[in-house]
Structure 1
Amino acid sequence: MISKFFKEKIKENFPFEPTQEQEIALDKIVDFLFLQKEESIFLLRGFAGTGKSSLLGALVKTMTDFKQKTVLLAPTGRAAKVFSSYSNHPAFTIHKKIYRQQKYSGELGNFGLMDNLHKDTLFIVDEASMISNNGLDSYFGTGRLLDDLIHFVYSGENCRILLIGDTAQLPPVGEEDSPALQVSELAGYGLEVHSAMLSQIVRQAEGSGILRNATAIRNALTKGKTEAYPKLKLKNFADIVKISGEDLIDEISSSYDKEGLENTMIISRSNKRCNIYNQGVRNRILYREEELSPGDMLMITKNNYYWTENVENVDFLANGEIVEVLRVRREQDLYGFRFCEVLIRSLDYDIELEVKILMDTLHSDAAGLTKERSEELFLNVLEDYADISTRAGKMKKLKVDPFYNALQVKFAYAVTCHKAQGGEWRNVFLDLGYISEEHLGINFYRWLYTAITRASNKLYLVNLPDEFE
């Protein structure tokens, strides 16, 4: 039978012998593919280290060899880059694939749902835990990403979805659970849900302290035992170490030298702590004297649609995206704010852009401009268009005003866990800070699990509180 032959080919493309669990998951995926039932969806849930990447890489290669059509998607540019690297196949952001800017609307940054012109195509969506459905992002379609994704794919001829995600990771901001990983949620679309679960750590990962600890945390999550401090096992593992504040500067500096800035990340619990780290890194490791210098890494803190308006293949600069400063040009003080013209390079898309950034957000303890300051910028820029009689006319001008659309950024040497989600770095420095018993519970355990699993090579636990040992 062709399905059996297909499965054998997938196994041949595995980097090692599949586990029993992977075999079962493969059987189910192959059955799903050969059933060809249009109104069906596959949900593959798996924890860190269980071989999701190997399975998907082998599946994508086999489907390509068999001339079967696939489209690979992920919620963020960084997650798409990771997905693309382990599958050896191009991957796109969900937004890039399903939305199109509505030029005729006269408003910048309103994106409508595209028509799905694909036929007989499997859409494989990684990092599905990050797909929100809370209606908060009104710029895009209905604002409900999961609704829009499903509507888009299933409007195409014989197109279906394979979702992959990890239920132990943080759900999207403002949601209790990740909607895309709930069978009941998916069945609510009238789809027949097929699913498989990977929970067994693959043999190749057994010696990893990162995965050993991540597994202990997700086991506690599964059993609902999240009220006590998690005990981290550090002995006999080379990939997870505890360091004191005194050694921190040397260790980060060494990581920058060996792995590079792009492959090192500090994760902390609050924007305030991240600010302190970012200043420390710039002053004491990189010796940057200017407020902003070429070589600085910045993270975008609010979606921006203005600066990529005429750039092919990039619809917008996304919240959480990391860019490198190539050149710092002139600074301007206007409207009660500070702006700077810079040339940046997007790490996710490898393109260069001339942009204006808002210097005021660089050092603030908030994630971006506060509501009050945003309102102030809005009203101050609006005054420039006092000669225009209609509000609609003023708004049209505002939409294309470079100052009103200045990029909101922060330094990106240290980030919060939500911002790090979907990314992976060789070395991660994790600062837990002070954790009281009130902080414990499901959310903290998911936070810790997500933070730990961002490291692929080495995890440094900074000033680890005694309660965790």
Structure 2
Amino acid sequence: MIGKHFGEIVLKNFGYEFSPAQKNAVGLFSQFFFGQKEDSLFVLKGYAGTGKTSLVAAIVNTLLSFEYKVVLLAPTGRAAKVFSAYAGHSAFTIHKKIYRQKSATDGEGEFDLGFNGGTDTLFFVDEASMISNSGEESNFGSGHLLDDLMEYVYNGRNNRLVLIGDMAQLPPVGLDVSPALDPEALRFLYNMEICEAVLTDVMRQAEQSGILFNATAVRHLLGSGKTTPELKITGFPDVCRIGGAELLEEIDSCYGKYGVDETMIVCRSNKRANRFNEGVRRMILYREEDFSCGDKIMIVKNNYFWAKDYERIDFIANGDIATVLKIEKRAELYGRHFARTRLMLAGYEEEITAWVMLDTLTSDAPALTYEENRDLYRSVEADYTDLASRKKRFEKIRENEFFNALQIKFAYAVTCHKAQGGQWDAVFIDQGWVADGMLTDEYWRWLYTAVTRARKRLYFVNFKPEFFDRKEG
């Protein structure tokens, strides 16, 4: 029987004995895959440490060895890079795969849903908890990413979709649940047959990990009504609890051991992230300039203008991280500060040259506010008062390099939503100010998501003593 043979090859590629939940998941996947029902969809949910990534890698490699067609996708460039690394196969962002730009000269960057000519293909989408359907992405297709993904995949003949994610992670901003991991919502929205497998057992080889132990302790608080997680440090070499006095020394040590690109500070707010970024640059990296070569930055607003000159980049996404290679010149105009900068975009390994806006680096807002964007628009418009036509003025503004400057922040410290989809060798979690009334499921999802960003070393920074097991002292 082909399903049984398939399961045996997956087990061989997996490299360990299956847990009961993993064995069940492989059986359900075999039924889904070989059942060949066109209106079916597979959802694989699993918590940290349950072997979800290893199982997906084994399934993908088994399908490839049988010469089945698979496409690997993720919501962000960082998540796609992580997916590609563990599955051993190229992965793309959802946007890059399913959307096509209307016009390469359109500074607004309007993207239509592309035509899917593929057949008999299985689309795997990792980090599906991040997929929104709220209609905020008006530049892309219908503006509803999950709707567009479903339409793209199932428009192709005999194509199907596998959604993979962790239901304990943060849902998309503004939502209480992740629609792409909610079988009831998927059935209701798309009238599909939903096959679901859930991994809950932490694998034996993961039990010695303090990162996974503490992630599990936090996850167990979801829906419990409890307000203390009983975090544990003792006996785990990969987790540590530190105060402010030790922080700079530990960050510096991680920069030396793991590198700046593999160390991240995760915060509750942009304001806290700004304070950490300032401290890291001034007291560890000894950067005296407001903006310097070597700085690690994050793009904080989607940008379509600068990508049009680069074949591999469709657009520069909110959340993309880059390294400053060279600052060519600076400019002050329209009431703003700009720098013409050569950047290396992480995940693409592509150099780009663009104007960046320096004012957003230290702003407590996520990016320019609505009012600030409006003021910038009016300031740029003043340069084109000789044009009587409002439409022609708009077209000139839309092609203005400074109006289209990349909005950026330093990326030594970021908010948890910005960190989602990425992983780093060393992660520092700043608790910040937390009142008792804030210790709800929303907070525990935030903490769980932050903890699971760490691969090798995790630091709890300024955490309340009552968050830890009483035996910790």
Q: Measure, in 2, the Cα distance between the counterparts of 1:273 and 1:226.
A: 27
Cα offsets for 1:116-156 (capped at 9, x unmatched): 11110000000000000000111111111000100110001
Q: Measure, in 1, the Cα distance between the counterparts of 2:174 and 2:268.
A: 17
Does the 8 Å contact 1:99/1:114 carry over to 2?
A: yes
Q: Measure, in 2, the Cα distance between the counterparts of 1:380 and 1:115.
A: 40
Does the 8 Å contact 1:106/1:396 carry over to 2?
A: no
Q: Measure, in 2, the Cα distance between the counterparts of 1:58 and 1:348.
A: 24
Does the 8 Å contact 2:113/2:148 carry over to 1?
A: yes
Cα offsets for 1:41-62 (capped at 9, x unmatched): 0000100110011111111111
Query: Which structure 2 residues correspond to residues 274-353 of structure 1 after superposition, within 5 A?
Result: 274-353=273-352
Q: Percent identity?
A: 51
Q: TM-score, normalised by structure 1?
A: 0.98
Q: Measure, in 1, the Cα distance between the counterparts of 2:107 and 2:408.
A: 23
Shift of 1:105: 9.1
Which residue of the partner structure matches residue 164 of structure 2? 164
* 1:375 counterpart letter in structure 2: R
Query: Which structure 2 residues correspond to residues 122-141 of structure 1 after superposition, within 5 A?
Result: 122-141=122-141
Does the 8 Å contact 1:226/1:440 carry over to 2?
A: no
Which residue of the partner structure matches residue 449 of structure 1? 448
Shift of 1:400: 1.5
Shift of 1:308: 0.6
Shift of 1:227: 4.6
- The alignment partner of 1:220 has SS state of coil
* 2:46 counterpart letter in structure 1: G
Which residue of the partner structure matches residue 70 of structure 2? 70
Matched residues, number: 467
- The alignment partner of 2:220 has SS state of helix
Which residue of the partner structure matches residue 185 of structure 1? 185
Which residue of the partner structure matches residue 258 of structure 2? 259
Q: Measure, in 1, the Cα distance between the counterparts of 2:395 and 2:59.
A: 47
Shift of 1:113: 0.2
Which residue of the partner structure matches residue 200 of structure 1? 201
Shift of 1:458: 0.9
Does the 8 Å contact 1:15/1:54 carry over to 2?
A: no
Shift of 1:235: 1.6
- The alignment partner of 2:429 has SS state of strand
Shift of 1:108: 3.1
- Whether 1:375 aligns to 2:374 is yes
* 2:195 counterpart letter in structure 1: H
Query: Which structure 2 residues correspond to residues 2-81 of structure 1 after superposition, within 5 A?
Result: 2-81=2-81
Shift of 1:396: 1.8
Which residue of the partner structure matches residue 209 of structure 1? 210
Does the 8 Å contact 1:13/1:62 carry over to 2?
A: yes
* 1:220 counterpart letter in structure 2: L
Does the 8 Å contact 2:211/2:458 carry over to 1?
A: yes
- The alignment partner of 1:13 has SS state of helix
Q: Measure, in 1, the Cα distance between the counterparts of 2:394 and 2:98.
A: 27
Which residue of the partner structure matches residue 471 of structure 2? none
Shift of 1:377: 0.5
Cα offsets for 1:94-128 (capped at 9, x unmatched): 00000111118956311110011111000000000
- The alignment partner of 1:153 has SS state of helix
Q: CA RMSD in A?
A: 1.2
Which residue of the partner structure matches residue 239 of structure 1? 238
Shift of 1:226: 3.7
* 2:221 counterpart letter in structure 1: A
Q: Measure, in 1, the Cα distance between the counterparts of 2:410 and 2:108.
A: 27
Cα offsets for 1:401-460 (capped at 9, x unmatched): 110000000000000000000000000011101211121111001000000110011101
- The alignment partner of 1:288 has SS state of coil
Q: Measure, in 2, the Cα distance between the counterparts of 1:384 and 1:304.
A: 22
* 1:331 counterpart letter in structure 2: R
Cα offsets for 1:11-59 (capped at 9, x unmatched): 1111322212111100000110000100100000100110011111111
Cα 1:299–1:392 shift into 2, 3 Å: same
* 1:21 counterpart letter in structure 2: A
- The alignment partner of 1:195 has SS state of strand
Does the 8 Å contact 1:338/1:359 carry over to 2?
A: yes
Q: Measure, in 2, the Cα distance between the counterparts of 1:416 and 1:136.
A: 20
* 1:52 counterpart letter in structure 2: K
Q: Measure, in 1, the Cα distance between the counterparts of 2:272 and 2:35.
A: 51
Which residue of the partner structure matches residue 388 of structure 2? 389
Which residue of the partner structure matches residue 420 of structure 1? 419
Does the 8 Å contact 1:343/1:352 carry over to 2?
A: yes
- The alignment partner of 1:103 has SS state of coil
Q: Measure, in 1, the Cα distance between the counterparts of 2:228 and 2:128.
A: 28
Q: Measure, in 1, the Cα distance between the counterparts of 2:321 and 2:15.
A: 31
Q: Measure, in 2, the Cα distance between the counterparts of 1:374 and 1:57.
A: 44
Q: Measure, in 2, the Cα distance between the counterparts of 1:5 and 1:301.
A: 47
Q: Measure, in 2, the Cα distance between the counterparts of 1:89 and 1:388.
A: 52
Which residue of the partner structure matches residue 176 of structure 1? 176
Cα 1:241–1:104 shift into 2, 3 Å: closer
Does the 8 Å contact 1:109/1:306 carry over to 2?
A: yes
Which residue of the partner structure matches residue 366 of structure 1? 365
Does the 8 Å contact 1:226/1:445 carry over to 2?
A: no
* 1:196 counterpart letter in structure 2: A
Q: Measure, in 2, the Cα distance between the counterparts of 1:277 and 1:213.
A: 24
Q: TM-score, normalised by structure 2?
A: 0.97
- The alignment partner of 1:434 has SS state of coil
Q: Measure, in 2, the Cα distance between the counterparts of 1:45 and 1:391.
A: 51
Shift of 1:467: 2.5
- The alignment partner of 2:161 has SS state of strand
Does the 8 Å contact 2:117/2:156 carry over to 1?
A: yes
* 2:281 counterpart letter in structure 1: R
Gaps of at least 5 residues in structure 1 are none
* 2:70 counterpart letter in structure 1: T
- The alignment partner of 2:221 has SS state of helix
Cα offsets for 1:320-379 (capped at 9, x unmatched): 111000001211001111111010000111000001000100111111112211111011
Cα offsets for 1:170-218 (capped at 9, x unmatched): 0000111100011111112011000100010011101111111111221
- The alignment partner of 1:164 has SS state of strand
Q: Measure, in 2, the Cα distance between the counterparts of 1:391 and 1:96.
A: 33
Which residue of the partner structure matches residue 118 of structure 1? 118
Q: Measure, in 2, the Cα distance between the counterparts of 1:197 and 1:71.
A: 22
Q: Measure, in 2, the Cα distance between the counterparts of 1:234 and 1:298.
A: 32
* 2:217 counterpart letter in structure 1: A
Does the 8 Å contact 2:63/2:69 carry over to 1?
A: yes
